[in-house]
Chains A and B, each alone.
Chain A
Amino acid sequence: MTNHWIDLKNADVILIMGSNAAENHPISFKWVTEAQKNGATLINVDPRFTRTSSKADIYASLRSGTDIAFLGGMIKYILDNKLYHEEYMLNYTNASFIVGKGFGFKDGLFTGYDEKKRGYDQSQWAFEMDDKGVPKKDPTLKNPRCVLNLLKKHYERYTTKLVSSVTGTPEADLLKVYKAYGATGKPDKAATIMYAMGWTQHTVGVQNIRSMCMIQLLLGNMGVAGGGVNALRGESNVQGSTDHGLLFHILPGYLPTPSASIPSLAVYNEKNTPKSNDPRSANWWQNRPKYVVSLLKSYFGDKATAENEFGYGWLPKLDDGKAYSWLDIFDTMYNGKIRGFFSWGQNPACSGANSNKTRQAMAKLDWMVNVNLFDNETGSFWRGPGMNPAEIKTEVFMLPACVSVEKEGSISNSGRWMQWRYEGPKPMGNSRPDGDIILELGLRLKELYAGGGAFPDAILNLKWDYLTNHKYDPHKVAKEINGYWLVDKKIGDVTYKAGSLVAPGFALLQADGSTSCGNWVYCGSYTDKGNMSARRGQEDAPNNIGLYPTFAWAWPVNRRIIYNRASCDPKGQPYNPNRWVVKWDAEGKKWVGDVPDGPWPPPQNPDGSPNEAGRYAFIMTKEGFGQIYGPGLKDGPFPEHYEPLECPIEKNLVNGQRMSPVAPVYGTDADAHMTCDPRFPYVGTTYRVSEHWQSGLMTRPQPWLLELQPQMFVEMSEELAAMRGIKNGERVLVASARGEVKCTAIVTKRFKPFKIGGAVIHEVGIPWHFGWRWPESGEEESANLLTPSTGDPNTRIPESKAFMVNVTKL
């Protein structure tokens, strides 16, 4: 989230699309309801009429996988009716930038496409530069190749008529949504978006979200109270686990993982540190070398020296251009090339797309370690449906982790709030905190490698001093993450003492090895003043918009709304004085309100003259502007509608490419997929219910929750049920090209048939919380047995939200 949960109350319009907040993030609705009480309009767009829809002022349906068509239509509506916030657009976005002549778009393909590689040469989409190496701009917006005019051209095809024929949304409903949302382009109005996996789990997942980012930038809704782009995270600490780099492509703090073509730290910094020739761009990532060196100091302590490039050589390197993502792990494992596997606090036998492939893959391992609260479908895969234990050679170690209330530590919510938790009871039985298990495993590996082995340096030199009284100490690690001074250092008038924690934040981190910091975005969270994440202050900030700055701690530097200087005009005065976030105090020469995203003064003085000390608002982009045109993505600088891997129509009605020309497709015998095949005529999608969570492992073994939602079901329209002779409550079989699942039929008005390109298309929906291990009947299985192994070309998140199925009576 760029904003945070309480801030939802400040919105004039809330769009919930790609999520079902009322059921899956129920407490978020406390603040949605608060906004509605204040007169806000709630819009919900969803293939199914959900409990979120029932609370909405405007509901519109759409076929799963057509969000870009829907939002592309909204972009066109905003442009046609000039609803954008022009001053904001000019000052804070790249709308006026001039795009180079290399950019073009034809028949669904951007320039630079290589069919063999299924990829683009992105360099063709670059901006035109002036002689100083700064992108050329046309503030009059007349140049036909300025971003705004290219945007107009790109989306002129997205008429409501065409959009409606793709999405199945009635034209009148499209217009209702566009009008209500577009009305927030006024300076004192704010609209927000609440999305979740309904947007991400597609072959066009990133571009779904980008479409909305572009709308928010056009309307001036970024950086303001009640605005922003807000991902509703599904796990209590998926924000934190991402921040801390438990992913193949990033180290803690969003530092790219080193690759094989980058042999040294010097080259790493050269390649990964953006340079801007515009003195007014803060270009915050120019500080990257400070964060990398501080991280390496944290990994390797005294062993990291300037002479050995702070231990850069000990880090593993990726092959350039190769993905090591979830889908790739199980593809490689299925092909027998992975021997050992840790499944730590996760249940891949049910949670990832194409679960049959995942389960088969695990049978090819030599060994697996499964750490969890409960026995699960992953640890026990060898005794699951269709498996013959005698033939499965995989050794499995299953380790009992304790529950979160039995240990101490912090988690980070969707709004980037780091919050501390305490130990209530001791861990049950012989279960242990994950941290204990990780530390102990590390100590044993160090012991083994002290006697030699392959490349022992990385293991032996890892700093691993997080025990207190022989136990894992979360406070020690929290301080390590915050960072500390390694030598006495004088900066300005202040001397920072060796051993003291770095505070107030990452602006103090150094690239010379004088600071250690486990994760720069968390710098300032645990200081000599104490554990900031444990704070429980009840006072609001002076702007009284629900920031609660002394409750918990938010990254970065306790900033509650990101890019908040964009909420002000160029003189630093808020566009909306009634819900201001920050404002410039010209006398005191400082920003007041939320922690500003940078100390620099506004770009204009109170008399309107330019202030050269000012810096552009979007500090994390190289140029300093919000990116309506985004040349950095693998599938194009503007979002374009493509059909899912499996879809019900032969031809994309918007362009000449049926599916994303760059989405990954896997080729094992477990990767069958069928489009427009009469055997699988219905669109299928997956979702969640309030009573279960994720693959269900932490809810299915509980009596109350299981009683509330005891079994797998499939929701379908009355029309489809009549056609298939299915009655409410009957058991049916839902099948895709990859698997089948027994479900109880729910015949409902919540789904309606869609009219797509003149034809009637049906969609059905299933929850994905079940698996054979719990409930003990073994009859309730995972929806992911049906979903395909394909995903977004940028993130490789699987396409679990749109695929093709059949439904038959059992």
Chain B
Amino acid sequence: MDVSRRKFIQISGAAAAGVAVSHLGFDLRPVKAHAQMLKTQYAKETTTICCYCGVGCGAIVHTSRRGDGRVINIEGDPEHVINRGALCSKGSALKQLTENTNRLTEPMYRAPGAKEWKQVSWDWALDQIARRVKETRDANFELKNEKGQTVNRTTAIASVGSAAMDNEECWLYQALLRAMGLVYVEHQARI
């Protein structure tokens, strides 16, 4: 991606600051400009679209190529034609959504009647979920309704979500739910 305009803004801002302190007797501009560059110099740069409201603002994500490989900074994308670099309070905090110690990072399980969560493996969790789906579906599958019409469905399982998923994920999810025979399929659009 061509970032010339943004670099220009950074450099020109740095230059102005450099001039302001030049009464110290030496020129800080090169140092300041270098410091401004460091943030992104060793970072991978990717574009994203904000995950909050439906405006669809563009943002630039800087991810460290070194160390933990985590996000260094997320800021508005000046080349995005809708927001032209601007973001609201939530968009400006995107980094704190990503780099957040409160996030779930492991599958968890709560047994019937249990008072606490237990950490489990993906393999175990997905295996158990698939089994629950099959047990419930098999025990409750309706080939015909009360009128004797063919329905091939189960009303014993419901799903809600999600407008927070990507298009491709939404498409996959609805295809799977329909193959499972679900009719209780809903999400945020209804509320």
Contacts and interface: CB of A to CB of B under 8 A. Distances in A.
Contacts of B81: 6, 538, 546, 548, 551
A317 B172 contact: no
Interface stretch (A24-32, A602-610, A753-761): A24-32
Tell me which of B102, B140, B155, B161 has the highest count of chain A C-beta atoms within 10 A of its own C-beta: B161
A319 B145 contact: yes
A332 to B, nearest CB: 7
A290 interface: no
Interface stretch (B18-26, B28-36, B128-136): B128-136
A274 interface: no
A425 B158 contact: no
Contacts of A261: 149
Interface in B159-179: 159-176, 178-179
Given A430-B107, A441-B176, A538-B79, A30 B84 contact: yes
Contacts of A428: 70, 98, 103, 105
Between B165, B184, B189, the greatest number of chain A beta carbons within 10 A of the residue's beta carbon is seen for B165
Contact of B161 (A338, A371, A466): A371
Nearest to B87: A27
A337 B138 CA distance: 15
Given A398-B104, A548-B81, A691-B90, A341 B176 contact: no
A398 B167 contact: no
Q: Which of B79, B164, B174 is the most central at the interface, judged by chain A CB atoms within 10 Å of its CB?
A: B164
Nearest to A474: B168
Interface stretch (A244-252, A277-285, A631-639, A744-752): A244-252
A313 B152 contact: yes
B126 A406 contact: no
B167 A237 contact: yes
A415 B56 contact: yes
Nearest to B151: A317
Contacts of B9: none
B51 interface: yes
B48 A425 contact: no
A433 interface: yes
A419 B56 contact: yes
Contacts of B179: 299, 314, 442, 458-459, 461-462
Contacts of B47: 421-422, 536
Nearest to A24: B53
A683 to B, nearest CB: 21
B170 A419 contact: no
Interface in A228-243: 232-243
Interface residues of B, number: 115
Nearest to A348: B160
A406 B155 CA distance: 34
A444 to B, nearest CB: 4
B66 interface: no
Central interface residue in A326, A339, A405, A431, by most chain B CB within 10 Å = A405
Interface string B57-96: 1100111000001110010000101111011111101101
Given A423-B46, A462-B179, A690 B89 contact: yes
Contact of A536 (B1, B132, B174): B1
Interface string A523-552: 000000000000010100000001010010
A345 B176 CA distance: 16
Interface residues of A, number: 165
B109 A397 contact: yes
Nearest to A28: B55
A319 B149 CA distance: 9
Interface string A147-164: 000000000000000000
Interface in A195-242: 201, 232-242
Contacts of B152: 313-317, 455, 458
A551 B82 CA distance: 10
A400 interface: yes
Nearest to A481: B171
A667 interface: no
Interface string B97-118: 1101011111111111111010
Given A329-B160, A411-B49, A344 B173 contact: yes
B18 to A, nearest CB: 30
A56 B93 CA distance: 28
A346 B111 contact: no
Contacts of A390: 113, 115
B15 interface: no
B107 A337 contact: no
A448 B54 contact: no
A313 B181 CA distance: 11
Interface string A356-398: 0000000000110101111100010011000001111111111
Instruction: Select the residue from A401, A437, A454 with max chain B CB neighbours within 10 A.
Output: A454
A782 interface: no
B183 A346 contact: no
A559 B103 CA distance: 39
A702 interface: yes
A441 to B, nearest CB: 6
B127 to A, nearest CB: 7
Contacts of A810: none
Contacts of A28: 55
A477 B157 CA distance: 25
Interface string A416-430: 011101111110111
Interface stretch (A73-81, A584-592, A790-798): A790-798
A703 interface: yes
Contacts of B108: 375, 379, 397-398
Contact of B190 (A26, A373, A406, A797): A797
A486 interface: no
A693 interface: yes
Interface in A21-59: 24-28, 30
Contacts of A257: 183
A449 B132 CA distance: 13
Contacts of B176: 438, 441-442, 445, 462
Given A405-B61, A415-B56, A244 B167 contact: yes
Contacts of B74: 405
Given A424-B63, A455-B181, A445 B49 contact: no
A423 B89 CA distance: 23
Contact of B167 (A260, A366, A409, A453): A409
A28 to B, nearest CB: 6
Nearest to B150: A263
Contacts of A421: 47-49, 166
A321 B185 CA distance: 16
Query: Which 4 residue pairs spanning A and B have beta carbons closest together?
Result: A429-B105, A413-B56, A345-B162, A233-B54
23 contacts: A235-B188, A236-B53, A238-B163, A247-B185, A248-B186, A325-B186, A332-B155, A337-B155, A340-B136, A340-B158, A341-B158, A395-B109, A398-B109, A398-B110, A400-B104, A400-B106, A404-B49, A405-B94, A478-B168, A548-B81, A690-B88, A693-B52, A702-B93
Interface of B: 1, 44, 46-58, 61-63, 69-71, 74, 79, 81-84, 86-91, 93-94, 96-98, 100, 102-115, 117, 122, 125-134, 136-138, 140-141, 143, 145, 147, 149-176, 178-191
Given A389-B115, A448-B130, 18 more contacts: A5-B55, A27-B82, A201-B191, A235-B52, A240-B163, A241-B187, A263-B150, A317-B152, A337-B156, A338-B158, A340-B136, A344-B159, A374-B103, A392-B113, A403-B98, A405-B48, A413-B49, A458-B181
